[in-house]
Amino acid sequence: MRILSLNANGIRAAARKGFFDWLPEIGADVVCLQETKARIEQLADPVFHPDGYHCAYVDAERPGYSGVALYSRTRPDAVITHCGFEEADREGRYVEMRFGKLSVASLYLPSGSSGDHRQASKVRFLDFFLPWLRERADDGREWLICGDWNIAHRAIDLKNWKSNQKNSGFLPEERAWMDQVVDEVGLVDVFRKLDPRPEQYTWWSNRGQAWAKNVGWRIDYQIATPGLAETARDPVIYKDQRFSDHAPFWIDYDFTPEQ
């Protein structure tokens, strides 16, 4: 089961850059997209409904903003289009597919980088989401929550960590929140479990030749329940082509929903 995740930074822009031409080459069973930046009615073109996939889109009330999507080769038993936090649900930040006892979700956690009002929104979401994760970790299902969490967990997860300790995305309280997700809730950062190397980034600023110099951040995750994480192997951050300011990344799981 190959799970691919990408913050598309505009799904129509990613399409123009060749994302949907490239996607069949990868053989992903599930594709998790974030920041689609499109209303559902703007995605009627067949390119946005790739052959062989069951597709679910969730958009934001605000045009051209946020939005998430999930594609699956297996028909889901159910599609969940909200997480239950109204502020986030109005912004189109969560979609989930259920397959037997497995749930796969695409999540776009708020960014606080554009100002104090957005950081406050991010904090409200974090306050909601930690107990939400605790409930899911104990519900008997296997969970995989993929996407842009807009937090670099540890110093290894961004190039210039010393100078970013007062910036949204690497604030001490945000990193402590991620500590709780991993250490207290018991969920697994699957990529980091499999790949302990430094300089493995998924996002690069468009300023200052960040991409060319690999001055990046790892803010995109696959967070799993331990049972599912134990089956994971072969993580890949794909950088041969650029469809977004984020890189697509995927992980294979030796798991089927019937398990």
**Catalytic positions, written as ranges:** 148
Q: Which residues pair with 103 in a beta bridge?
A: 98, 143
| Strands lying side by side in the sheet with 220-224 | 78-80, 94-99, 102-108, 142-148, 220-224, 188-189
Other CB atoms within 10 Å distance of the CB of residue 199: 12
Which DSSP helix (H) or strand (E) runs through 174? helix 172-179
Q: Are strands 94-99 and 78-80 parallel, antiparallel or unpaired?
A: antiparallel
Contact residues for 62 (Cβ-Cβ < 8 A; gap 6+): 91
Q: Are 11 and 38 in contact (CB under 8 A)?
A: yes
